[in-house]
Structure 1
C-alpha cells in the first residue's frame, strides 16, 4: 500500500497509519492518534507528540551545565523533533547537528506532518541533519562537540535494535567521551531510571554523574542521565 492509499480518517478510534516503510534497520511507521503523531519502529513504540517535556529537558540540562558562549551540540535521534526544536529556539547554541539513521523520519520532518514541530529549526542555518547511524558515527568520526544529547532508544536497558546495545557499554561510552571536548556533557534520555547505567558512566570516567527525573501521568518517570567529560 502506498502512502496516498493509506487511510486519513480514523473511523474506529484506533490509531491511523500515515506512512509505513522498510528502512535500513527494519520497519518504521508514522501514526496519528487523535491530534498527536507517534513513531513505531519494528513494532516498538518510540515516541509521540503528546508531551515532549523530557525531550526538551535533554537539551536544556546539557546547556545549563556548559560554560562556553556558543557551544556545539550533537542530537542523537531526530524523533518527533522536540529536542531539535528546543535547541534551535535557544540562541546560545552554536552549531546544532542531528544524527538520524532512518530516511523516513527525516522525510516526515522535511515534507510530512512532523514539520509542524521542526520546520523552523530545519530552516535555521546552525542546523545540520546527518543521515547516519549514531553508533557508527561516534565510533568513526573525529568530530567533537560540547554536548551529546542522545535519544535513539527507550533507554539504556530498552534498545530499539540489538546494534544499539553497544552504545551504553564500555566501548560505546568511550566513543561518546572521545567525541566531547573537555568539560563537555553527555545527556542520555531514558523512559525509566537505570542505576546500572549511572555506574557505567562512572566506570567510563564521566564526572558529575546524575539523573534528572520528569514525572509522567502513569508509571515511572522519564529521566535524563548526565555525565561530564573531565
Structure 2
C-alpha cells in the first residue's frame, strides 16, 4: 500500500508552485493523485468524469478517421487517454506549458495514465497553449499553420476564473476567432469548466462558431457523499 502521503514532484513555475502528490484514502481504500498550484487544488484522480467527457463529447461531433487532435493542458492525462481510446484518432498533440507535468507521464508516475507517453500517436509540445492559439504558427512547431479536427482545452478553472490574466483573451470573440483559425472547416473546439454554464461566454462562442452547446456533466462526489458538476462547452465551425 505504501505511505499514506507522498509528494511525487514539485516545481516553482511562472504561475506558482505546482506539485503532484499521492495520498492513501482509507475510507475509499484507494490511492488518490492530486495536482496543486500553490495552495489550490487543480485536479484529482477522484474526479476524472468531466475530463473524460471533454474528449468524448468533443470527438463525438466529428466523423471520419485519421482525426488530428490538440489537447491543451496535460494534467493527470484523463482527457488525453480518452482521445487515444478513440480508434479514429490519427494523431494527438498535447500542448503543456510546464515541462515537469510532461515528465510525470514520461517517468510513469501516474499508473492510470500508462501508455499515454509511449503511444506513437502522442506528441508532447512544451509551449503556452494561449500564445500558440493567438499565433499564426499554431500548435505544431514542426508544421506551422497546421490545422486540426479538434482542440480540447482544460487549463483554467473556467472562462471567468483563469490561472493567468493573459489567458482571458482566449475566451473573447477575438481570441476565439484566432483559435478557430487553427481548426479544419467543421472542426470542433471543446472546453472544460468548473463553473455552471456561462451565458456571456456562450454569446462569445455564438459570434465565432456555427453551433455551440454547454453540457453539464454530473458525477458522484465520494468526499461529500453527494453530487458535483462541471460544464463542457462544445462548439463547431
- The TM-score range, normalised by the shorter chain, is 0.7 to 0.9
Please state if 1:200 is matched with 2:204: yes
Give distance in 1, aligned partners of 2:64 and 2:133.
22
Residues 39 and 47, structure 1, Cα contact 8 Å, conserved in 2: yes
Please state if 1:127 is matched with 2:108: no
Q: How many residues align?
A: 216
SS at match of 2:64: coil
Residues 149 and 184, structure 2, Cα contact 8 Å, conserved in 1: yes
Give distance in 1, aligned partners of 2:16 and 2:146.
28
Please state if 1:36 is matched with 2:39: no
- TM (normalized to structure 1)? 0.88
Give distance in 2, aligned partners of 1:190 and 1:97.
21
Alpha-carbon shift at residue 43 of structure 1 (Å) = 2.8
Give distance in 2, aligned partners of 1:208 and 1:136.
25
Please state if 1:191 is matched with 2:157: no
Q: Deviations over 1:107-137 (max 9, x none)?
A: 11111422x1333121111111100010011
Provide the residue aligned with 1:4 in structure 2.
Answer: none
Provide the residue aligned with 2:164 in structure 1.
Answer: 161
Give distance in 1, aligned partners of 2:114 and 2:155.
21
Alpha-carbon shift at residue 197 of structure 1 (Å) = 1.2
Give distance in 1, aligned partners of 2:204 and 2:34.
31
Alpha-carbon shift at residue 90 of structure 1 (Å) = 1.5
Provide the residue aligned with 1:80 in structure 2.
Answer: 76
Which 5+ residue runs of structure 2 have no aligned equivalent? Answer: 25-30, 138-144
Residues 215 and 221, structure 1, Cα contact 8 Å, conserved in 2: yes
Residues 188 and 224, structure 1, Cα contact 8 Å, conserved in 2: yes
Give distance in 2, aligned partners of 1:120 and 1:89.
11
Alpha-carbon shift at residue 145 of structure 1 (Å) = 0.5
Give distance in 2, aligned partners of 1:50 and 1:220.
12
1:228 to 215, 223, 236: 236
SS at match of 2:116: helix
Give distance in 2, aligned partners of 1:102 and 1:48.
18
CA RMSD of aligned residues (A): 1.7
Which 5+ residue runs of structure 1 have no aligned equivalent? Answer: 1-7
Q: Deviations over 1:31-82 (max 9, x none)?
A: 2232111111233221111131111111111111112322111000001000
